[in-house]
Amino acid sequence: MLKEVENYLLIVNDLRNQVKNLLEKFPDEALDWRPIEGEGDLATNSATILVTHLAGSESFWIKEVIGGQPIHRNRDTEFITKGVAMAELKRRLEGGAQNTEAILSSLTSAQWEAGSNKRAVRGRG
């Protein structure tokens, strides 16, 4: 495995573990709580929404953008997610971890270098 990938995985796994540790402090009934309800710029997201979006984002960037595997993500539904159990939220994070490690560890030096150039995604880049 490339040293750059090892370093990246250490950082991402640490961040993911921080999220899981924070999640464990939530009682199940608080996972869907939003500090500021409603819509618009002042509304906030629940822990369920944030974890779902984090998992969706990781899957998009790693599987689709880097790995070239279409994931058929519906980003908008991530922001209305409710009623997901703690175990499922953790499973989503772990699924992302497995995909990230598998895809990044398979990269060759040439692929890593090619990917370090700026990519255009969704018309931005």
Task: Using the predicted structure, report yes or no on whether residue 37 has a pLDDT greater than 70.
Answer: yes
Task: Using the predicted structure, report yes or no on whether residue 111 has a pLDDT greater than 50.
Answer: yes
Classify domain 3-115 at the CATH class level. Answer: mainly alpha
Residue 43's pLDDT band, with cuts at 50, 70 and 90, is confident
Instruction: Give CA separation, 35 vs 30, 44, 78, in Å.
Output: 10, 6, 18
Q: Give the predicted TM-score (pTM) of the model.
A: 0.85
Task: Using the predicted structure, report yes or no on whether residue 101 has a pLDDT greater than 50.
Answer: yes
Give dist(CA 77, CA 26) in Å, integer. 22
Mean residue pLDDT of the chain comes to 88
Secondary element (H or E) of residue 84: none
What ranges do the domains of the chain cover?
3-115
8 Å CB contact between 5 and 107:
yes
Q: What is the mean pLDDT of residues 62-89?
A: 92
